[in-house]
Structure 1
Amino acid sequence: MEMPTKEQAIASNRDAWNDSARHHKDNPDWPVLLSAVAQRDFSCLDDTLTRVLNEVGVDGKEVVQLGCNNGRESLSLFALGARHVVGVDQSAAFLDQARELASCSPHQPEFIEADIHHLPPALQGRFDVALITIGVLNWMPDIAEFFGHVSTVLKPGAALVVYETHPFLEMFDPEAADPFALATSYFRHEPFVQTEPIVYEGKVEQQTAPSYWFVHTLGDLFGGAIAAGLNIRHFQEYPHSNREELYDRFEQREAQLPMCFTLVAVR
């Protein structure tokens, strides 16, 4: 298969996410979420991310979430005391869901449709904290360029908080006959390509725009952040999964894999 250019991959990923949005909304969790966000202290953030955000300090701060999806995590930041929250995503369909959730919430986040590579000038140097959670970094063809754009939205001294799947986990296929056999190289260069809708559980047998999932090593992430003028202040790895339920089988092993990590970097 001929690999796309960076611009083609970004555009195709956007189309795939827009097409997938309806599948995320068409499940029993959606009305439950609509009801839950009505609570002032609503939060869907797990204990690991909540602890790191509290250590960084969100109370009274202006926070941006880059790759906010349907906005549920952006809304959760108000429970930690955020003064104002902006969610940025390139999927218009998921931002429609984010605005629907916000309409049921007592809080008033702002949601902006934008590709991280073309952020509006109004976001430059504006935020005290930036948040990136699972399922953002691997959609980026060039991780160093990505961190360069992230850095521009931060005030001097502001913090970037990342909570992501550990790249070591990309070496395994949880659906393989032997899910513990190494399936691909840690140093893989070509992206994983999917032509079915992007859903978190199961599969939807339907053709959609190709989506491209890029593998980045920890060295890629650290190097990209440092090159963007970000000073790494915290990095911790964890044995629990923050990914789809398929990956739960890798937990609680005698020879335990690293499954996710938190990173804090300061501009």
Structure 2
Amino acid sequence: MEVPTKEKAIASNRDAWNDSAQHHKDTPEWRARLDAVSHGDFSCLDDTLTGLLQQVGVDGKDVVQLGCNNGRESLSLFALGARSVVGVDQSGAFLDQARELASRSSHQPEFIEADIHHLPTELHQRFDVALITIGVLNWMPDIGEFLRHVAQTLKPGGSLVIYETHPFLEMFDPESADPYRPDSSYFRREPFVQDQPIVYEGKVEQQASASYWFVHTLGAIFTGAVEAGLQISHFKEYPHSNREELYDKYQQQKAQLPLCYTLVAATRSSVK
């Protein structure tokens, strides 16, 4: 398989998400969320991420979510006391959904359409906390370059918080005949490619722009963070799944896989 250039992969992933947006609205979950966000204490964050954000400290802080999708998690940050929230995503179609959700909320996040690799300069060194949640890192062809751009958004002493799927899980295919047998190398270099709409449950049998899912080892992520000038202060692995339900089968096994992780890394403070 021919590996696309970085620019082609990023552009095609943007188009794939735009192609998929309507499928995410045509669900009972979307209609329920439209009602849920009207409550001032709305949060869709699970206990793991909520506890970590409380530990890092979001109350009274300026927060950016990079890869915010439909903004539901960005809106949830206000329940933790965030002073301001900016959500960034390159899919205009999903940001339309984010603004629709925000219009039902008493909070006023800002949503910006941008590729993380070409962020507006006014976002540089603006935030106390940058948040990345499940399903962001794997869309990035070059994890080191991506993390350098992420680090640019933080004030001196600001913290990056990541809550992601463990890359070890990418070795397994939950829909294969033997879902517990490794199906792909942990060190896989070529991306997984899909030409159907991106949905969280099941499949939609229609053509869409190709999407490219890149596998990054923990070593690549750690190295990328350090080379971006970030100091890792927290890393923890968990046995629960934070992705699609078909991955729940990997939980509560006698020989338990690591299924997700949290990581916190901070920029150096300007104060000596």
The alignment's TM-score, normalised by the length of structure 1, stands at 1.00
1:2 shift after superposition: 2.1
> How far apart, CA to CA, are the structure 1 residues paired with 2:169 and 2:210?
22
1:254 shift after superposition: 0.4
Q: How does 1:15-54 map to 2 (within 5 A)?
A: 15-54=15-54
Alignment pair present for 1:264 and 2:264: yes
Q: How does 1:82-231 map to 2 (within 5 A)?
A: 82-231=82-231
Other-structure match for 1:236: 236
**Structure 1 unaligned runs (5+)?**
none
**Structure 2 unaligned runs (5+)?**
268-272
SS in 1 for 2:12: helix
> How far apart, CA to CA, are the structure 1 residues paired with 2:169 and 2:128?
31
Deviation digits for residues 111-137 of structure 1 (CA, Å, limit 9, x no counterpart)? 000000000011000000000000000
> How far apart, CA to CA, are the structure 1 residues paired with 2:171 and 2:99?
36
SS in 1 for 2:186: coil
> How far apart, CA to CA, are the structure 2 residues paired with 1:237 and 1:128?
24
> How far apart, CA to CA, are the structure 2 residues paired with 1:127 and 1:192?
33
Paired residues, number: 267
Equivalent position amino acid for 2:235 in 1: F
Equivalent position amino acid for 2:153 in 1: V
1:31 shift after superposition: 1.2
Equivalent position amino acid for 1:41 in 2: D
SS in 1 for 2:207: coil
Equivalent position amino acid for 1:58 in 2: V
The alignment's TM-score, normalised by the length of structure 2, stands at 0.98
> How far apart, CA to CA, are the structure 2 residues paired with 1:28 and 1:80?
26
> How far apart, CA to CA, are the structure 1 residues paired with 2:31 and 2:14?
25
Equivalent position amino acid for 2:173 in 1: D
Other-structure match for 1:247: 247
> How far apart, CA to CA, are the structure 2 residues paired with 1:45 and 1:135?
15
> How far apart, CA to CA, are the structure 2 residues paired with 1:28 and 1:41?
21
Other-structure match for 2:56: 56
1:3 shift after superposition: 1.8
Identity percentage of aligned residues = 76
Equivalent position amino acid for 1:197 in 2: P
User: Could you say what the CA RMSD is over the residues aligned between the two structures, in angstroms?
Assistant: 0.4
